[in-house]
């Protein structure tokens, strides 16, 4: 494999996210293919890190350069960000960070700008202390877009700074132990034998947080389905869904299948239909079922038109893991901060309410519907469910909040799960 300049690849990937509105998880794989296995982790860290700290890097460039790079040279703007990020937030020796970043200009066919990049990064090194002191008083220091900051401040007058702080951290790696193979404690003993360690979660019985994130291939029995990567809060859905053997269960908005497989781990004899609108994402449901040796009926379909994919069938339980702003998982997907727009929130809330109304008739009388999102915004969560309860006389809220303040809202925490919302609804 020809050695590629990793910094220039990171700059190109970040440019595609910020300037073209593409998600990093769509963009990154093609760049990952161009580097050795050893370098994949660094490429990922540079992309995630720059997107996490974008307002800081943008602010610094504004101080260090009189005119920003535009047009065909725009990629160099992001290359400078990659350079600044390494100097500020990684342990890469500064001389190596500088040399590799400057070489990145050659890789993007702008060798004449090597001197400029070198100059900007060296100027930063000289003025680092004063610049960082000034930035710590700037309104950009929270590293979030203004619209989202405003919404968080309004919804959480006391907690917004903690939420923002958690969003700016690197995420912990949570696993779900498949209890059909081992109990959590048995698997943790295997983990120790493999030279790693983990922590349990007080509320979620199958969850283990690794002390240090690791490659899945290093985890005991990953290929055999003994364990699955899934955030602790996502695992919380099963606490409320409580699937039982013999039941007919609908997992709506199911791709990539993290919760489909959790349902089948909790109730291996349940008959599960997994539905999602996105054909491509559905292919990952098949992969996950295969690794875990499970079967489910997988269908492509729109949650707003269930008659098209399930006729007039009714289910014992429905999990609706609704499409949402994903504002609870920003630490895992920092590109969300730059891809979402304020107006998306109302559009998403509208879509969620349409899916809720459409699927409710497909729940049996006495059945359970769990509505979940990985959002922290009330419009998609408590306000959404309060409005649903108001217009749906045969829906009753159970164990998750009160009709005035419905649902259970998890907020992201350094050693906790992601931001997540659950409401358990019973059909009378
Ligand atoms: C939060 S993700 C689901 C995660 C999944 N439940 C898991 O645990 O792996 C939301 C999903 O909703 C799907 N989606 C979006 N709009 C939809 C619609 N109108 N009908 C059905 N699925 C939809 C998306 O394709 C996406 O896969």
Distance between Cα 176 and ligand 1 center (Å): 20
Which atom of ligand 1 is closest in space to residue 302's alpha carbon? 20
Token pair of 347 as six digits: 């559009």
Q: Which has more pLDDT, 2 or 9? A: 9
User: 354 CB under 6 A from ligand 1?
Assistant: no
Which atom of ligand 1 is closest in space to residue 354's alpha carbon? 19
Q: What is the model's pLDDT at position 268?
A: 97
Residues of the chain by 3-state class (helix, strand, coil), percent to 5: 50, 15, 35
pLDDT digit string, tens, across residues 66-79: 998 999 899 999 99
- The secondary structure element, H or E, covering residue 363 is strand 363-373
- The secondary structure element, H or E, covering residue 368 is strand 363-373
Predicted confidence band of residue 415 (pLDDT cuts 50, 70, 90):
confident
Q: What is the model's pLDDT at position 61?
A: 98
pLDDT digit string, tens, across residues 174-230: 999 999 999 999 999 999 999 999 999 999 999 999 999 999 999 999 999 999 999
> Is 80 exceeded by the pLDDT of residue 290?
yes
Of the candidates 237, 310, 324, 374, the residue annotated as catalytic is 374
**227 bridge partner residues:** 177
Distance between Cα 102 and ligand 1 center (Å): 41
User: 323 CB under 6 A from ligand 1?
Assistant: yes
Distance between Cα 298 and ligand 1 center (Å): 13
The mean pLDDT value for 415-422 works out to: 95
> Is 70 exceeded by the pLDDT of residue 417?
yes
Predicted confidence band of residue 339 (pLDDT cuts 50, 70, 90):
very high
Predicted confidence band of residue 414 (pLDDT cuts 50, 70, 90):
confident
% residues pLDDT > 70 (the chain)? 100
User: 171 CB under 6 A from ligand 1?
Assistant: no
Residue nearest to ligand 1 atom 2, measured at CA? 323
> Is 70 exceeded by the pLDDT of residue 346?
yes
Q: Is 253 annotated as a binding residue?
A: yes
User: 306 CB under 6 A from ligand 1?
Assistant: no
The mean pLDDT value for 107-115 works out to: 95
* Burial class of residue 95, CB neighbours in 10 A (0-12, 13-18, 19+): exposed
Q: What is the model's pLDDT at position 141?
A: 98
Q: Which has more pLDDT, 3 or 245? A: 245
Establish whether 374 is a catalytic residue. Answer: yes
Q: What is the model's pLDDT at position 1?
A: 63
Distance between Cα 169 and ligand 1 center (Å): 26
DSSP alpha helices (H): ranges in 170-254? 184-193, 232-235, 237-241
Q: What is the model's pLDDT at position 307?
A: 98
Q: What is the model's pLDDT at position 182?
A: 96
Task: Name the residue of 323, 324, 329, 332 to mutate for ligand 1: max ligand atoms within 8 A of Cβ.
Answer: 323
Average pLDDT, rounded, for the chain: 97
User: 302 CB under 6 A from ligand 1?
Assistant: yes
Which 8-state DSSP code applies to residue 393?
T
Q: What is the model's pLDDT at position 243?
A: 98
Compute the distance between CA of residue 185 and CA of residue 195 in angstroms, rounded to an integer: 15
pLDDT digit string, tens, across residues 233-289: 999 999 999 999 999 999 999 999 999 999 999 999 999 999 999 999 999 999 999
Q: Would the ipTM clear 0.90, i.e. be above it?
A: yes
> Is 90 exceeded by the pLDDT of residue 94?
yes
> Is 80 exceeded by the pLDDT of residue 413?
yes
Q: φ, ψ for residue 221 (rounded to 5)? A: 70, 20
> Is 90 exceeded by the pLDDT of residue 23?
yes
Q: Which residues contact 296 (CB under 8 A, 6 or more apart)?
A: 251, 260, 264, 272, 273, 274, 285, 289
Distance between Cα 324 and ligand 1 center (Å): 9
């Amino acid at each position: 494999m020809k050695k590629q300049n990793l910094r220039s690849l990171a700059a190109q990937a970040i440019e595609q996210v910020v300037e073209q509105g593409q998600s990093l998880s769509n963009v990154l794989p093609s760049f990952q293919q161009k580097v050795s296995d050893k370098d994949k982790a660094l490429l990922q860290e540079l992309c995630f890190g720059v997107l996490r700290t974008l307002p800081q890097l943008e602010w610094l460039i504004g101080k260090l350069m009189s005119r920003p790079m535009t047009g065909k040279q725009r990629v160099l703007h992001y290359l400078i960000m990659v350079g600044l990020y390494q100097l500020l937030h990684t342990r890469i020796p500064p001389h190596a960070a500088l040399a590799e970043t400057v070489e990145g200009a050659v890789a993007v066919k702008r060798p004449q700008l090597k001197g400029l990049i070198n100059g900007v990064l060296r100027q930063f090194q000289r003025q680092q202390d004063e610049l960082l002191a000034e930035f710590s008083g700037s309104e950009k220091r929270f590293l979030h877009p203004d619209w989202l900051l405003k919404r968080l401040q309004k919804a959480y007058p006391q907690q917004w700074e903690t939420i923002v702080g958690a969003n700016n951290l690197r995420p912990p790696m949570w696993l779900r132990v498949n209890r059909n193979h081992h109990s959590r404690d048995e698997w943790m003993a295997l983990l120790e034998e493999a030279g790693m360690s983990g922590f349990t979660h007080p509320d979620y019985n199958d969850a283990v947080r690794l002390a240090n994130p690791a490659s899945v291939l290093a985890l005991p029995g990953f290929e055999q389905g003994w364990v699955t990567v899934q955030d602790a809060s996502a695992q919380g859905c099963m606490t409320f869904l409580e699937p039982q053997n013999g039941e007919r269960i609908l997992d709506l908005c199911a791709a990539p299948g993290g919760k489909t497989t959790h349902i089948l781990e909790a109730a291996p004899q349940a008959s599960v239909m997994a539905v999602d609108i996105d054909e491509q994402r559905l292919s990952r449901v098949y992969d996950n079922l295969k690794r875990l040796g499970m079967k489910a009926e997988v269908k492509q379909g729109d949650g707003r038109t269930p008659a098209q994919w399930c006729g007039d069938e009714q289910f014992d339980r429905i999990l609706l893991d609704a499409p949402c702003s994903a504002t609870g998982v920003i630490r895992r997907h920092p590109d969300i901060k730059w891809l979402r727009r304020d107006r998306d929130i109302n559009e998403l809330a509208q879509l969620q309410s349409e899916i809720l109304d459409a699927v409710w008739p497909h729940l049996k009388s006495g059945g359970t519907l769990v509505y979940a999102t990985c959002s922290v915004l009330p419009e998609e969560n408590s306000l959404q469910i309060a409005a649903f309860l108001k217009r749906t006389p045969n829906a009753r809220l159970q164990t998750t909040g009160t009709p005035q303040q419905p649902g259970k809202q998890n907020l992201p925490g350094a050693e906790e799960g992601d931001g997540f919302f659950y409401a358990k609804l019973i059909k009378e």
